């Protein structure tokens, strides 16, 4: 009888520890940022103010997680209205025709020290490419309302020419590579 009871308890623990957990990005505690070299001597920093994301995990880790993030292109904000308008134009993002950028996971593997390698498909404009980025898993805790939250962050480079953003293709005035930094706090649903 003891063996049956122990088997039942271990089975329940296994089921609950590997149950699917759904999370949603908390925009008040998250940010989508970029940094690009200008004229070879300085940098322009910016962010996207509207974005959304969801994650499905097995328990409270990123092991075998599925992540899906969307950024609204019209929410680009560099602090200069004229530049933002130009970035939304056909020279850059063509926000009217392509209102969102999207990322969907294809795999995630644990590296070391709470680090993961996230592989997925990034779509900007009408171009989808496979990318691989390092992700730091900040862990899981409870917020002020007692709700479980998870923290993740990543920093990586994107060559804008790979995504049909062809303005200044020489990279002399506007660099080819864009540094992207994402900081997400996700709340358990």
> Is 10 within a domain?
no
CATH of the domain at 173: 2.40.128.110
Q: Any idea which residue has 């271990």 for tokens?
A: 10
> Is 4 within a domain?
no
The whole-number pLDDT of residue 113 equals: 82
Number of domains in the chain: 1
Instruction: Assign 2 to helix, strand or coil.
Output: helix
The whole-number pLDDT of residue 140 equals: 97
Query: Which residues fall within 8 angstroms of residue 154, CB to CB, at 6 or more apart?
Result: 118, 133, 134, 135, 136, 180, 181, 182
Which range of residues forms the domain containing residue 124? 20-188
The whole-number pLDDT of residue 128 equals: 98
Burial zone of 1 (CB within 10 Å; 0-12 exposed, 13-18 middle, 19+ buried): exposed
Q: How confident is the prediction for the chain on average, in pLDDT?
A: 92
> Is 5 within a domain?
no
The whole-number pLDDT of residue 58 equals: 92
> Is 110 within a domain?
yes
> Is 1 within a domain?
no
Query: Which residues fall within 8 angstroms of residue 81, CB to CB, at 6 or more apart?
Result: none
The whole-number pLDDT of residue 18 equals: 59
Provide the H-helix boundaries in 2-143: 2-17, 81-88
Secondary structure (DSSP) of 39-61: TTTEEEEEEES-EEEEEEEESSS
Q: Over the stretch 12-42, which tens digit does the pLDDT of each residue have?
A: 444 444 589 999 999 999 999 999 999 999 9
Predicted TM-score of the model (pTM): 0.88
> Is 15 within a domain?
no
For the chain, 189 residues long, give each residue's pLDDT as a single digit of tens.
556 444 444 444 444 445 899 999 999 999 999 999 999 999 999 999 999 999 999 999 999 999 999 999 999 999 999 999 999 999 999 999 999 999 999 999 998 888 999 999 999 999 999 999 999 999 999 999 999 999 999 999 999 999 999 999 999 999 999 999 999 999 999
Q: How far, in Å, CA of 106 to CA of 99, rounded?
A: 23
Q: How many CA atoms lie within 13 A of 129 on its CB side?
A: 13
> Is 6 within a domain?
no
> Is 100 within a domain?
yes
Query: Which residues fall within 8 angstroms of residue 135, CB to CB, at 6 or more apart?
Result: 62, 108, 115, 116, 117, 118, 152, 153, 154
């Amino acid at each position: 009888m003891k063996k049956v009871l122990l088997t039942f308890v271990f089975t329940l623990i296994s089921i609950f520890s590997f149950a699917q957990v759904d999370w949603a990005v908390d925009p008040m505690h998250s940010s989508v940022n970029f940094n690009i070299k200008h004229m070879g001597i300085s940098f322009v920093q910016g962010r996207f103010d509207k974005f959304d994301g969801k994650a499905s995990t097995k328990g409270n880790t990123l092991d075998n997680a599925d992540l899906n993030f969307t950024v609204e292109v019209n929410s680009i904000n560099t602090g200069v209205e004229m530049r933002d308008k130009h970035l939304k134009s056909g020279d850059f993002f063509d926000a009217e025709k392509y209102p969102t950028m999207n990322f969907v996971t294809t795999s995630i593997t644990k590296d070391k020290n709470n680090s993961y390698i996230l592989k997925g498909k990034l779509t900007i404009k009408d171009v989808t490419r496979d990318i691989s980025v390092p992700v730091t898993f900040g862990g899981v805790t409870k917020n002020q309302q007692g709700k479980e939250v998870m923290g993740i962050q990543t920093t990586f480079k994107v060559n804008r020419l790979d995504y049909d953003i062809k303005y200044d293709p020489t990279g002399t005035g506007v660099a080819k590579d864009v540094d992207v930094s994402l900081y997400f706090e996700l709340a358990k649903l």
